[in-house]
Chain A
Amino acid sequence: MGYVAVKGGEDAIANAAQLVEFYRLRGQTAPIEVQQIRTQMRLLVDKVMGEGSLYAPEHAALALKQMEGDVFEAAFLLRAYRATLSRRYYSDVISTRDMLVKRRISSAFRDIPGGQILGPTRDYTQRLFDPAVAEETARTSAQFVDQFASETGPGQPTQRFGKVIDLLSAQGLMRKDARDDSDRRVVDITRDAVKYPAPRSAVLQSLARAETGALMCLGYSTMRGFAAGGHGTVGELRMGDVEVRVTDPNGRKRYIGRLTVTECEMVSPAPPSKKREESVPYLAIGYGLCFGHNETKVICMGMLDSSLRQPNDANPANSQEFTIYHSEGVESYGFTNHLKLPHYVTFQSGLDNLRDSMQRADEIRKRASVGQPEAGVAGAIKS
């Protein structure tokens, strides 16, 4: 290739798009159904919905199919789609106390009212390959489902539980002013750029749509001493369905459906407030909530909600700017990959400087070998 010709560009990208589509289809295996991804890759779909910031399981599944399983691209696709949709309402505040719980545990106490409900989890299984999974058929799946249904009875369990933090509150163990956070402004980060220091609503919104791996990295860092605060105890982790309501233009409350969410309330001793020298380390909540079933995300969100309330820009997890900027998946995916764009203009300037320096060094070497005392470089350093 001689030079970059403008005409060639359009053909090139069209060909590249076709080629990647060919990569997707050339195996000539049976086309994956969106429903298969939706039902059998539920956790991946939930991750994409959370990071795409759009509760739309069908769309998330399709995005995964279209992007050949590239999760960053799928979340990106969902986010971009979201940006095209018209905004009608803000929902009423969702009550997770009224959640129809499917899983609910607390690490803070051995037994809690209502009990520890393990729900659907692989936490206590061993990560060993199961050959049966490779041999599944529609029939074996149906058999399993029928047997399970017959053993457990009809319908979905609809349990509601009180919150563990209410127990702690009743004991007077929670920080007194936990509920009158002076910073209660609710902003919409999709309408306005976030400015720092950001109010808690902006922080939690950002974390709710952040890339799970990034949050995991930062959350982990708080557990290994690279930040103040963070590491706490899981007061309660729950996953289940919540009801969404909006207020229509006539002022009437309308039920529009249910979502699955995961919620975590981390408890840890609150840092002493600047206002008074309090020596009692009351408990404060680090809160996490996201779409779908994603426990890692909400646990790390909870830890970061705590650590970000002890600002210190020297530690990533204590720095709002560090945490929020660098856990935003769509932006970081875009920018890191943008390095693939042509940068030859800036690169050329760099080469130019390099060649200049090489030439100067060469001249110095030549003069030195001829025996001339060198005032140039040393003189430059001395000043």
Chain B
Amino acid sequence: MNDWLLRVRNLTKIYGEPDGGTIDRTGPRASTNICSQTGAIVACADISFDLYPGEVLGVVGESGSGKSTLVQLLYFDQEATAGEVLLQAVEEGNANLLTLSGQRKRYLRNHLLGMVYQNPRDGLNLNFSAGGNIAEKLIMAGQMHVGKMRERSLHLLAQTEVPTQRMDQTPRTFSGGMQQRVQISKAIANNPPLLFLDEVTSGLDVSVQAKVLDMIRQLQADLGISMIVVSHDLGVIRMLTDRTIVLKHGRIVETGLTDQILQDPQHPYTQLLVSSLL
């Protein structure tokens, strides 16, 4: 079947100097990320999954599970140690994105991918206005008309419920929740088919979280973007995702439809997570 949007095979990231046995010495069974012989740290290994158009995939796990590393690798913020990442839109899914040149990777980031970070400072340039941040994304995708960019910025800010009169102010003065909304506006500005969200509500007040999550859900329904949502919070996963993968010590321990996983978790670790879900 070739209707997948994104295909990931054996994605692996190791820090330090591994040897042949490093992967076996780490993971959920060994209960560690650290190779006892070499001291190398296996952030994630052998991660494989497919993502379909319009689908929302959840990635859940605790700190150190490798979930943030996973999206950082997919967004080219970090270099992978091994693995294959294919996008249908790039050479009909025949090119391993991880082996592309820096310039081509940047092209993909500007045109096909969007990323929302946990800390807005990582996704926004606080020296520019909210509108300027969105313009940056549009300019990188080839838009050169100020009027049209401002129109699009207003539209996006309205969609993400940011007061449009603040378009020309720098997000430095905004609340955390509003900074996240600006980040989301920027990330979807050029209609990427694939959006990554890395713990996007974790730094926010509970009441604000609910609103932002609601907004994301609405956006997804309206725009049909495929998303990968990373969170340690099963509540977020439940609200946003269709399918989920559960990570522990850098490996996938369980995958399935989100509803099924929540109702009938198989792996003891997943059971632990679900049982602590309020």
Contacts and interface: CB of A to CB of B under 8 A. Distances in A.
Chains A and B touch each other in the complex, with CB atoms below 8 Å apart: yes
Contacts of B39: 378
A348 B32 CA distance: 38
B10 interface: no
Interface residues of B, number: 4
Interface in B32-53: 32, 34, 36, 39
A374 interface: yes
A382 B34 CA distance: 8
Contacts of A373: 36
A378 B32 CA distance: 10
B32 A382 contact: yes
Interface in A203-247: none
A373 B37 CA distance: 9
B120 to A, nearest CB: 17
Contacts of A382: 32, 34
Interface in A11-52: none
Contacts of A378: 32, 34, 36, 39
Contacts of B32: 378, 382
Nearest to A381: B34
B125 to A, nearest CB: 15
A373 B32 CA distance: 15
Interface in A327-383: 373-374, 378, 381-382
A323 B220 CA distance: 50
A278 B114 CA distance: 35
A329 to B, nearest CB: 34
A378 B26 CA distance: 12
Nearest to B127: A228
Nearest to A368: B37
Interface in B6-60: 32, 34, 36, 39
A382 B36 CA distance: 11
B278 to A, nearest CB: 28
Nearest to B32: A382
B36 A374 contact: yes
A374 B38 CA distance: 12
Interface string A145-189: 000000000000000000000000000000000000000000000
A363 B175 CA distance: 53
Nearest to B33: A382
A378 B34 CA distance: 8
A373 B39 CA distance: 14
Contacts of A374: 36
B203 to A, nearest CB: 21
A47 B39 CA distance: 57
A381 B64 CA distance: 13
B172 to A, nearest CB: 11
A382 to B, nearest CB: 6
Interface in A96-129: none
A378 B25 CA distance: 13
A297 to B, nearest CB: 31
A60 B32 CA distance: 69
Contacts of B34: 378, 381-382
A4 B34 CA distance: 50
A161 to B, nearest CB: 40
A378 to B, nearest CB: 5
Nearest to B35: A378
Interface string A258-281: 000000000000000000000000
Q: Which of A373, A374, A378 has the most CB of B within 10 A?
A: A378
Interface in B222-254: none
A378 B41 CA distance: 11
B66 to A, nearest CB: 15
A374 B37 CA distance: 9
Interface string B251-269: 0000000000000000000
A373 B36 CA distance: 9
A382 B63 CA distance: 12
A381 B34 CA distance: 9
A382 B39 CA distance: 11
A382 B31 CA distance: 10
B126 to A, nearest CB: 11
A267 to B, nearest CB: 24
Nearest to A375: B36
Nearest to A374: B36
A92 B99 CA distance: 73
A161 B198 CA distance: 64
Interface in A286-311: none
A373 B34 CA distance: 14
Nearest to B36: A378
6 contacts: A373-B36, A378-B32, A378-B34, A378-B36, A378-B39, A381-B34
- Report the 7 A-B pairs with minimum CB-CB distance, sorted nearest first: A378-B36, A378-B34, A382-B32, A381-B34, A382-B34, A374-B36, A373-B36
Given A378-B34, A382-B34, 7 more contacts: A373-B36, A374-B36, A378-B32, A378-B36, A378-B39, A381-B34, A382-B32
